[in-house]
Structure 1
Amino acid sequence: MDTTLDRLRIWLTKTRVFASPRSKRRFLIHIFVLGFVFAIATIFIQRQFSFLTDAQALREFIRGYGILAPGALIGFQALQVVAAPIPGQVLAVVAGYLFGVWWGTLYNMIGITIGSTIAFWISRRYGRAYVETIIHEETLARFDTVSNDHGHPALFFFFLIPGLPDDILCFVGGLTNIPLWQLIILAVIGRTPAFFFVNVVGDLLGTDQIPTATVLAVILVVISVAGYLNRDPIIRLFEDSS
């Protein structure tokens, strides 16, 4: 029993991402505040703009604001890469719902590109000391080893697999000697497939194809959970081949 608990404790320590308990508390506070604001905003919108419950009417309403709506989406997507207040996949569903598959994917990837570039630049500009205030030292060290030994293929693979902490990779990548433009290409190409399919889910929801959207969403969730639960074995594969 004690051995099992010890192993569990070790596993939890190794998989910790936050640099400190304080960082974790700050993150959770941000999530709570954003959730509260979102809930209040949702109630207000439902009362004041009841027509927004109609998917097609909502899409036309948002599109009526022209470039402002896509601009807001792009800004939020860029922000989540750097600060992670909202999961990028959630924004991708919203984008697909509002703008359709192709435009939604385009707006998402523009935001991802901007956010990734900022994260790469911050990491490269302020160095490891700053990154260690964001990412737990042991987590950073593991990705350091993999990215330094395997470079482009490893980073691309981690960006490609859903469920892996790809936003962390943006900061890790900035600490490597890989040119910035190459890092951006790796991040964009690697992350596009997953975001495309999440946008498909949003588009299906926006066109009232609920059963199909549900099936695809379940498949994506299963893949993401599998990637997340197997992140340590995946990282070890690269570590063992170093």
Structure 2
Amino acid sequence: MLESPVYKRIVLKVSGESLAGQNGFGIDAGMISSIAEQVKEVVNLNVEVAIVVGGGNIWRGIAGMEKGIDRATADYMGMLATVMNSLALQDALEAIGVPTRVQTSIAMQQIAEPYIRRRAIRHLEKGRVVIFASGTGNPFFSTDTTAALRAAEIEAEVILMAKNKVDGVYSADPFKDANAEKFDQLTYLDVLNRNLGVMDSTSASLCMDNNIPLVVFSITEPGNIKRVVLGEKSELL
């Protein structure tokens, strides 16, 4: 019996920390290979996959600002970090036979395509994975906001929020608070009112306004992306 995915087009949000694996910094070859294999499993189900990659494993704009760097400059540095991660993920995907295109919001034509909505959709229709790099191209916006924005633009059915260590949304950090409550179902208003850390307020508002559901899951266990796409984990928001 053929496995039937519940989504046709998805946006997968991968944090930079996920690419670092247990190292906490940089790119872990084993982890990025695992993510690529998981994406390939989903592509083999004829699901159209777009990916937004963070850059926190290399540089975080807010951390740079705390060190005295101008906020806009620090954010641009973070955008460049997402490009490095995107190229690494593209290489890992193409090494296992998954055609992939990187599109950047900041022009760098020697290494990637510029972000063009209609071209991105055409790549997806042809079965190619599209990785959206360099955030929105503007400072003061997170890659979570990029995921929400691109999902709305390409008319994705869902955002899959891949977390490095946790398997969902909790009322507090489960590694610091033993009494942290895990939520099975929430609304975006809950996220905003409770100030939950699943995504920032800008991205939550954008998802709420455009009726984009969200699934939060752990990416560290092989096969989890496929399980989500097959409906084994329901939409949280």
Q: Same fold judged by TM-score > 0.5?
A: no
Computing the radius of gyration from Cα coordinates, the structure with the larger value is 1
From the two aligned structures, give the one with the greater strand fraction: 2
